[in-house]
C-alpha cells in the first residue's frame, strides 16, 4: 500500500511539471510549380492577360470575405480551446497540490497510528479486571483507565481520518486523470483550429497575390464602396435618431483603451499589447476597464447581456454575422473600433458596414 500512495505524490509532482500547452507548428502551404505546359514560350497574344473585370473582382472580393470569415470562425475555436486549456491546467495544478499535501498528511497519520499501536502494545494484554486486582493503587489505575479510553477514542478518530485521507487521494488522482484527458482533447482542438485558420489565411493571401497592382487598387475601391453603401443604408434607417446613450465610467475607459490601439496589426489569436484579433481587442479593452469578459466573440454574444441596437452606448460590443464570428466596440456617432482581419490594422469603421447580429453590454 505504501508504494501505491507514494506513487500518488509522484503523480502530483509530475502533473505540475508536465502542464505545458503544446505549440503546434504552422502548416506550410507550398505554391505548386509551373506545369510543363507553362514552360513553353508564350505567344505574343498571351503575354499580356486582360485585366479582370469589375464582376470578376467582385467575385474575388466575395471569395476573400468568405475565406477571412472562415479564418475568423477557426480563430474563435482556437481562442476558446486555449482559454479552456489554461483553466484546466490551473485546475490540474491545484489537484496536484492536493495530492502532494494529502500524501504528506497520510504519512503523518500513519506515523501517529503506528505510535499509538506501539504504546498499546507496551501496555500489555491483561484484562482490565486482572490489572485492577494487581494494581497497588486502584485510584491511579482507574485514572489510567480513563486515559486509555480517551486514547482508544483518539485512535479510532485517527484511523477514520487516515481512511478519509486515503479515499481523498484516490478521488484527487481520478479527477486529475479526467482533467488531463480533457486538457489533451482541448490541445488537439486548438491544433486543429490553428491548422484551419492558417490554411484559410494562406489561401486568401495567395488569391490576393495573384492580382496585379491595378487590380488590387480596384479591389480596394470595391471594398470601400461596399462598406460605404452598407453604412449609408444602416444610417438611413434612422438608427442614430434612437441611439443617445452615454458611456459609463468603465465604458469610457474601455473605449479609450481600444482607440489607443488604432494602427496596431491584426494577428489571429493575439490579445495585445502589440497586436490583436477582434475579440482580443474587445476583451483586452474591458479588462483594462476593470471588467472580465469572455475571450471570444461567440462567447461574448452567448454570455453577456443583450441590448437593443437603438439602446447602444459607447463601450457596448456589436456582434457581427449570423455565426457571431466578428466583434467591434461601439464608440459613438455610428462608428466602431475593431481589428478587421489579417493584413489590416485596428481601425475605426462604420458600425453598419457588416451585418449586425446584435449588441451586448459588458457593464450592464
Instruction: Specify whether 338 is catalytic.
Output: yes
State the Cα–Cα distance between residues 318 and 258, nearest whole angstrom: 14
State the Cα–Cα distance between residues 2 and 364, nearest whole angstrom: 55
Range list of β-strands (E), the chain:
306-307, 317-320, 326-332, 335-338, 347-350, 356-360
State the Cα–Cα distance between residues 202 and 71, nearest whole angstrom: 10
State the Cα–Cα distance between residues 245 and 234, nearest whole angstrom: 18
**Which is the catalytic residue, given 19, 80, 81, 278?**
278
State the Cα–Cα distance between residues 114 and 120, nearest whole angstrom: 10
26 Cβ neighbours under 8 A, 6+ residues apart: 194, 195, 198
Helix or strand or coil: residue 205?
helix
State the Cα–Cα distance between residues 298 and 307, nearest whole angstrom: 16
Residue of 281, 285, 313, 310 lying closest to 297 (CA atoms): 281
**Which is the catalytic residue, given 335, 338, 341, 361?**
338
**Which is the catalytic residue, given 98, 253, 326, 361?**
326
Identify the sign of the CA torsion 221, 204, 260, 315. positive
Name residue 317's beta-bridge partners: 329, 360
Instruction: Specify whether 17 is catalytic.
Output: no
218 Cβ neighbours under 8 A, 6+ residues apart: 52, 54, 57
Instruction: Specify whether 306 is catalytic.
Output: no
Say if CB 351 and CB 335 are below 8 A apart: yes
φ/ψ region of 265 (left if φ > 0, alpha if ψ in -120 to 50, else beta) reads beta
Residues designated as active site: 278, 326, 338
Amino acid at each position: 500500500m505504501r508504494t501505491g500512495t507514494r506513487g500518488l505524490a509522484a503523480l502530483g509532482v509530475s502533473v505540475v511539471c508536465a502542464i505545458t500547452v503544446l505549440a503546434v507548428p504552422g502548416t506550410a502551404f507550398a505554391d505548386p510549380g509551373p506545369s510543363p505546359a507553362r514552360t513553353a514560350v508564350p505567344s505574343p497574344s498571351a503575354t499580356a492577360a486582360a485585366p479582370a473585370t469589375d464582376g470578376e473582382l467582385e467575385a474575388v472580393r466575395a471569395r476573400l470575405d468568405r475565406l477571412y470569415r472562415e479564418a475568423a470562425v477557426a480563430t474563435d475555436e482556437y481562442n476558446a480551446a486555449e482559454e479552456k486549456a489554461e483553466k484546466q491546467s490551473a485546475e490540474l495544478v491545484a489537484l496536484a497540490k492536493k495530492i502532494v499535501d494529502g500524501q504528506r498528511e497520510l504519512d503523518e497519520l500513519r506515523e501517529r497510528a503506528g505510535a499509538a499501536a506501539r504504546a498499546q502494545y507496551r501496555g500489555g494484554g491483561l484484562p482490565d479486571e486482572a490489572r485492577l486486582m494487581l494494581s497497588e493503587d486502584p485510584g491511579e489505575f482507574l485514572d489510567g483507565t480513563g486515559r486509555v479510553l480517551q486514547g482508544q477514542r483518539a485512535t479510532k478518530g485517527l484511523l477514520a481520518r487516515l481512511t478519509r485521507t486515503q479515499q481523498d487521494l484516490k478521488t484527487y488522482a481520478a479527477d486529475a486523470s479526467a482533467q488531463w484527458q480533457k486538457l489533451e482533447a482541448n490541445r488537439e482542438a486548438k491544433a486543429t483550429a490553428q491548422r484551419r485558420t492558417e490554411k484559410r489565411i494562406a489561401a486568401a493571401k495567395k488569391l490576393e497575390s495573384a492580382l496585379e497592382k491595378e487590380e488590387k487598387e480596384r479591389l480596394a475601391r470595391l471594398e470601400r464602396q461596399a462598406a460605404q453603401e452598407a453604412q449609408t443604408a444602416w444610417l438611413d434607417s434612422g438608427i442614430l435618431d434612437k441611439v443617445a446613450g452615454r458611456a459609463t465610467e468603465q465604458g469610457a475607459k474601455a473605449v479609450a483603451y481600444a482607440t489607443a490601439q488604432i494602427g496596431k496589426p491584426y494577428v489571429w489569436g493575439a490579445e495585445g499589447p502589440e497586436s490583436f484579433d477582434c475579440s482580443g481587442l474587445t476583451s483586452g479593452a474591458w479588462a483594462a476597464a476593470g471588467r472580465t469578459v469572455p475571450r471570444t466573440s461567440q462567447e461574448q454574444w452567448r454570455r453577456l447581456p443583450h441590448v437593443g441596437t437603438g439602446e447602444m452606448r459607447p463601450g457596448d460590443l456589436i456582434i457581427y454575422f449570423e455565426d457571431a464570428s466578428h466583434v467591434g466596440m461601439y464608440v459613438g456617432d455610428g462608428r466602431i473600433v475593431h481589428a478587421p482581419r489579417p493584413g489590416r490594422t485596428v481601425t475605426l469603421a462604420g458600425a453598419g458596414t457588416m451585418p449586425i447580429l446584435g449588441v451586448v453590454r459588458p457593464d450592464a
